[in-house]
Amino acid sequence: MDVRIQLHVDGEWRALTVDTRTTLLDALRDRLGVMSAKKGCDHGQCGACTVLLDGRRATTCLALAVAYDGAEITTAQGLTNGGMPHPVSQAFLDHDGFQCGYCTPGQVCSAVGMLDEVKAGQPSYVTRDLARSVELNDEEIRERMSGNLCRCGAYVNIVAAIREVAR
């Protein structure tokens, strides 16, 4: 069964008709031509498809497009500010936080969402003192970014990039 939906993608309303079984990732890539969300594992395990969905990071390969009719979706491509790279994107460039670059859009979106979570005071599994504000050390960054895999192993540089932006 086909359903007409609207998605607010990277600041622009986009209307499309999708089968109710279409994932949000496939709607973005195959129907709307938004290529910054990548298809990696297609099982929600690698994070290559991560975007900001209504301001929160989400893996789009596990989300059905029809469930997000009217949602605000920001991809790494939409994080630019007047043509300038987002501070997280710039830090990835400055710290060589990528090699092949396949996972980078998902890593960047996840980092932006994670930094917002820290700002909101949300603890992680490794947060030591829940009564104090979260200290974003390397252990916290690694734990919070653990849903995003890098097959090239650029983790040291990814953590350094996020650490710089967090300061």
For the chain, give the secondary structure using H, E and C: CEEEEEEEECCEEEEEEEECCCEHHHHHHHHCCCCCCCCCCCCCCCCCCEEEECCEEEEHHHCEHHHHCCCEEECHHHHCECCECCHHHHHHHHCCCCCCCCCHHHHHHHHHHHHHHHHCCCCCCCCCCCCCCCCCCHHHHHHHCCCCCCCCCCHHHHHHHHHHHHC
CB 60 within 8 A of CB 24: yes
The pLDDT confidence band at residue 62, using thresholds 50, 70 and 90, is very high
- Relative to beta strand 50-53, strand 72-74 is antiparallel
pLDDT given at position 166:
93
The pLDDT confidence band at residue 109, using thresholds 50, 70 and 90, is very high
pLDDT given at position 135:
79
The pLDDT confidence band at residue 137, using thresholds 50, 70 and 90, is very high
Distance CA(88)–CA(91), nearest Å, equals 5
pLDDT given at position 83:
86
The pLDDT confidence band at residue 115, using thresholds 50, 70 and 90, is very high
Percent above pLDDT 70 for the chain:
100
* Position 132 pLDDT exceeds 90: no
Rounded to two decimals, the pTM is 0.94
The tokens describing 43, both together, are 């099982």
The pLDDT confidence band at residue 155, using thresholds 50, 70 and 90, is very high
Average pLDDT, the chain: 94
pLDDT given at position 82:
84
- 64: which strand partners? 23
**Domains in the chain, CATH or no CATH each:** 2-78 (3.10.20.30), 87-166 (1.10.150.120)
Percent above pLDDT 90 for the chain:
85
